[in-house]
A and B are shown apart, each in its own frame.
Chain A
């Protein structure tokens, strides 16, 4: 009902547009936003087209929106990859879901005390969090600690644990608490006899849902797109996420191209066992689809988050 009321224009006076910009400016904005949207969509469309192009077409005219011949061979090859592909798909989902749930939980549980004005050590813990954003241990020490001390090697934990705490997300979440949850609310809840857990889970959390959704979206994207951890800590192919599988295909091809003057015929023979270009594009399609489907789901909350808590016009 409210939606309808908002879109009603002033009757009988079409030239007068209440609270709106002029048609010309609006058209200009539409064009700009339209171009922006195209710039986002076209690369993906291109990938889809290439994945359906025939190898011959790529060999003769290169990547093109209008290939000389279409072919499903890339997808046939992908399905022939068999277990590895589905295994990696499963791994990607598992890592993303488990990782996102754990990461968001930790983020909220860290950010909440930092928001509580009555928490004495919040300055210290804020600093501790902030400090890691500026100073890191560097790659090799991190690697040694993760691998030798924490035993993060060739297991799912290696793909999840190093990404669990994101200091930036904690700061965003804390700020979200501060701007959208009045501290009076906490006090009121305490007066009404609500315990700490009850206050957080049943009073605060429902209010900060948009914030959580934003963090969850960012985190799940990070987990879904992650391949570097796999490169560092995992050699067991049954643990590869899809993103790393693709990365590996791509880098194999690049490596052979770069070293062709050294490898020569050996490299040429090796290159023939690698996935074709169209096949790599088909894998890209496989990677993008699920996360593209997740967007609309999160979008609702993200938009709500943008409009909540500030002064409305």
Chain B
């Protein structure tokens, strides 16, 4: 009896193994960024069943979080591990896209000899705006090309002033007043609102509470420079047409030495002395909490936001006031940090690059796959209301919230509650009107000046936030900073950056 049973068992195992061997799906491991996922079993079951049937692939996501992603990616790249087939990458944290591509960590997707993108990613290449693929081109180990699939998301920068319209209208002002007066003319509005609020509540009220670096960017129209993550360099944008060369031409200058910066800092200091600015935002440790708290509790008049299309709907509902965003530029503009903001690369050590590309293709073009991976299962993690908008089930969503923008093409997702049925069309149209900066595509390679750069960053860190937020006495501290920067050789860095930019533009 025993013998018979074991024979039977062996036969069954053999039978079970044969079809599995014939076309067992390939498992692809993906390292992702910024997630809050504790239970993905149900989603993966559905997703993998679908993927296995469609393209013969199953996926195993590693849900990196904001905090551990960099370490995971760095470890994998440095140790040459074949653990991940697909890796998230971007240009704005330490896990920079360009350096990793240079190091040979990623597969070149449009390699002339083995063009994965053309062969297995045709639909994907068609679905993405040309400008995105163009922005993904970098000088990697196998020549200039695309080393990662860029995510179709809010790929243009929208630096804004965040205005509490409810409070503004309480004192008889309109949004146009704020817009017309501009940064240098807000003094009267601040004075009125501050006095009024303080008389009413008896507590100190700061009408102007913002993020220092973004405020400077808003006023001086100085976009972030790729590779200069610590804001030492300024590129002045053309105020009328972001696609044209700026007032200084296509060149970088030392951020703190310009007359524009001095004018900005002086005005800020004036506001600061008048008590319009919360001192907490001038201190690194408390700054973010302070201005975010002020926004969330609606205790501000004007703030800053690096915003998204349609974001005022979300924040107005959350804060219980009417929020408006005044863009600092006429149209959103495109720079590297926004285009390379969320990408997916295929690891050079992956054993299955073809299957990985097939997966990226279906993820970015098949609304079912994207929605399932991003929002979970309909009826479990969310339901659709009559307008076809997604309404999340809070409890289930709490265990499964991937970072939406980190997953790829968000324009094929159904709209969320309150966004309206045609949200994605409006979203895509808005970003289609974005202007390309002349320096678009340029990344400052500071590797030859690492030591000098580190010294400069240390020096500017002592002053920058205080100058951005008006806490510093401009007449004494600004010359001091400029002097120290000059002594530390900032000109060398500016010259090097300009030389690189010239070479880049000449290409």
Among B141-149, B173-181, B286-294, B373-381, the stretch in contact with A: B286-294
Contacts of B399 in A (CB 8 A): 82
Residue B421 CB within 8 A of the other chain = no
Residue B447 CB within 8 A of the other chain = no
Interface 0/1 of B24-36, CB less than 8 Å to A:
0000000000101
Kindly provide the distance from the CB of A42 to the nearest chain B CB, expressed in whole angstroms. 20
- B337 pairs with A262, CB closer than 8 A: yes
Residue A260 CB within 8 A of the other chain = yes
Kindly provide the distance from the CB of A140 to the nearest chain B CB, expressed in whole angstroms. 6
Interface 0/1 of A210-249, CB less than 8 Å to B:
0000000000000000000001100101000000000110
The one of A60, A144, A231, A271 that contacts B79, using a Cβ cutoff of 8 Å: A144
- B75 pairs with A143, CB closer than 8 A: yes
Kindly provide the distance from the CB of B119 to the nearest chain A CB, expressed in whole angstroms. 31
Q: A273–B68 Cα gap in the complex (Å)?
A: 16
- A231 pairs with B68, CB closer than 8 A: yes
Contacts of B288 in A (CB 8 A): 257, 260
Residue B297 CB within 8 A of the other chain = yes
- B305 pairs with A264, CB closer than 8 A: yes
- B79 pairs with A148, CB closer than 8 A: yes
Residue A118 CB within 8 A of the other chain = no
The one of A83, A248, A265 that contacts B305, using a Cβ cutoff of 8 Å: A265
Q: A153–B288 Cα gap in the complex (Å)?
A: 36
Which of chain A's residues has its CB closest to B82's CB?
A: A148
Residue A297 CB within 8 A of the other chain = no
Residue A122 CB within 8 A of the other chain = no
The one of A237, A260, A266 that contacts B211, using a Cβ cutoff of 8 Å: A260
Among B306-314, B431-439, B477-485, the stretch in contact with A: B306-314
Q: A266–B92 Cα gap in the complex (Å)?
A: 13
- B305 pairs with A266, CB closer than 8 A: no
Kindly provide the distance from the CB of A258 to the nearest chain B CB, expressed in whole angstroms. 8
Among B4-12, B59-67, B248-256, the stretch in contact with A: B59-67
Contacts of A82 in B (CB 8 A): 399
Residue B213 CB within 8 A of the other chain = yes
The one of A147, A252, A266, A268 that contacts B67, using a Cβ cutoff of 8 Å: A252
- A84 pairs with B38, CB closer than 8 A: yes
Kindly provide the distance from the CB of A68 to the nearest chain B CB, expressed in whole angstroms. 13
The answer to whether residues A261 and B79 also contact, given A59-B293, A84-B38, A235-B62 and a CB cut-off of 8 A, is no
Q: A254–B66 Cα gap in the complex (Å)?
A: 9
Apart from A251-B67, A262-B93: 20 A-B pairs, beta carbons within 8 A: A60-B297, A84-B38, A143-B75, A143-B79, A148-B79, A148-B81, A235-B68, A235-B72, A247-B67, A252-B65, A252-B67, A254-B67, A260-B211, A260-B306, A261-B213, A261-B217, A261-B224, A261-B306, A270-B34, A273-B401
Give the B-binding residues of A (Cβ under 8 A). 59-60, 80, 82-84, 140, 143-144, 147-148, 153, 231-232, 235, 237, 247-248, 250-252, 254-257, 259-266, 268-271, 273-274
21 A–B contact pairs at CB < 8 A? A140-B78, A140-B79, A143-B75, A148-B79, A251-B66, A255-B66, A255-B67, A260-B211, A260-B288, A260-B306, A261-B224, A261-B306, A262-B341, A263-B92, A264-B306, A264-B307, A264-B308, A268-B292, A270-B66, A271-B292, A273-B398
